[in-house]
Amino acid sequence: MREFCGQMGLNFFLGNDVWVKEFIQKLQVKEIKVKVLLDLTANQIIEDDPYLHLARQVKRQKVT
Protein backbone atom coordinates (compact mmCIF):
# COMPACT_ATOMS: atom_id res chain seq x y z
CA MET A 1 0.00 0.00 0.00
CA ARG A 2 2.81 2.40 0.89
CA GLU A 3 4.53 1.81 -2.44
CA PHE A 4 1.32 2.28 -4.42
CA CYS A 5 0.54 5.54 -2.60
CA GLY A 6 4.05 6.75 -3.38
CA GLN A 7 3.59 5.95 -7.06
CA MET A 8 0.37 7.99 -7.03
CA GLY A 9 2.00 10.94 -5.24
CA LEU A 10 -0.03 10.42 -2.07
CA ASN A 11 1.24 10.60 1.50
CA PHE A 12 0.86 7.36 3.42
CA PHE A 13 0.64 7.01 7.17
CA LEU A 14 -0.04 3.73 8.93
CA GLY A 15 -1.91 4.31 12.16
CA ASN A 16 -1.53 2.49 15.43
CA ASP A 17 -2.67 2.78 19.04
CA VAL A 18 0.30 4.92 20.04
CA TRP A 19 -0.74 8.02 18.11
CA VAL A 20 -4.45 7.65 17.23
CA LYS A 21 -5.75 9.92 20.05
CA GLU A 22 -3.27 12.67 19.18
CA PHE A 23 -4.22 12.36 15.50
CA ILE A 24 -7.92 12.79 16.39
CA GLN A 25 -7.08 15.91 18.42
CA LYS A 26 -5.13 17.40 15.50
CA LEU A 27 -8.11 16.75 13.21
CA GLN A 28 -10.47 18.41 15.67
CA VAL A 29 -8.43 21.63 15.81
CA LYS A 30 -7.89 21.50 12.03
CA GLU A 31 -4.12 21.23 12.36
CA ILE A 32 -4.21 18.40 9.81
CA LYS A 33 -6.61 17.15 7.12
CA VAL A 34 -7.27 13.68 5.79
CA LYS A 35 -8.53 13.20 2.24
CA VAL A 36 -8.58 9.40 2.22
CA LEU A 37 -8.86 7.03 5.17
CA LEU A 38 -8.58 3.30 4.61
CA ASP A 39 -10.18 1.96 7.74
CA LEU A 40 -9.23 -1.66 8.23
CA THR A 41 -9.39 -1.85 12.00
CA ALA A 42 -12.34 0.11 13.44
CA ASN A 43 -14.74 -2.01 15.40
CA GLN A 44 -18.20 -0.61 14.73
CA ILE A 45 -19.66 -2.51 17.67
CA ILE A 46 -17.39 -1.06 20.38
CA GLU A 47 -18.38 2.57 20.91
CA ASP A 48 -15.08 3.64 22.54
CA ASP A 49 -12.88 2.04 19.85
CA PRO A 50 -10.22 4.69 19.01
CA TYR A 51 -10.22 3.82 15.31
CA LEU A 52 -13.98 4.28 15.16
CA HIS A 53 -13.52 7.74 16.69
CA LEU A 54 -10.85 8.50 14.09
CA ALA A 55 -13.12 7.40 11.24
CA ARG A 56 -15.96 9.55 12.58
CA GLN A 57 -13.72 12.60 12.99
CA VAL A 58 -12.42 12.26 9.44
CA LYS A 59 -16.02 12.04 8.22
CA ARG A 60 -16.91 15.26 10.09
CA GLN A 61 -14.16 17.36 8.51
CA LYS A 62 -14.75 19.34 5.36
CA VAL A 63 -11.87 18.85 2.96
CA THR A 64 -11.65 20.96 -0.15
What pLDDT was estimated at residue 42?
A: 65
Examine residue 30 and state whether it is found in any structural domain, yes or no: yes
Does residue 47 form part of some domain? yes
pLDDT at 29: 94
**Number of domains into which the chain is organized:** 1
Range of the domain at 21: 15-60
**C-alpha distances in angstroms, 61 versus 27, 39, 45?**
8, 16, 23
In angstroms, the CA 28 to CA 21 distance is 11
Instruction: Answer yes or no: is 8 within a domain.
Output: no
pLDDT digits (tens, 9 = 90+) for 4-57: 778 888 788 777 778 888 989 998 999 988 887 777 766 677 878 888 888 888
Model pLDDT, residue 28: 92
On whether residue 51 sits in a domain, the answer given is yes
40 occurs within a structural domain: yes
Q: Are 59 and 51 in contact (CB under 8 A)?
A: no
- Please report whether residue 52 resides in a domain: yes
pLDDT at residue 63 greater than cutoff 70: no
Q: What is the pLDDT of residue 57?
A: 87
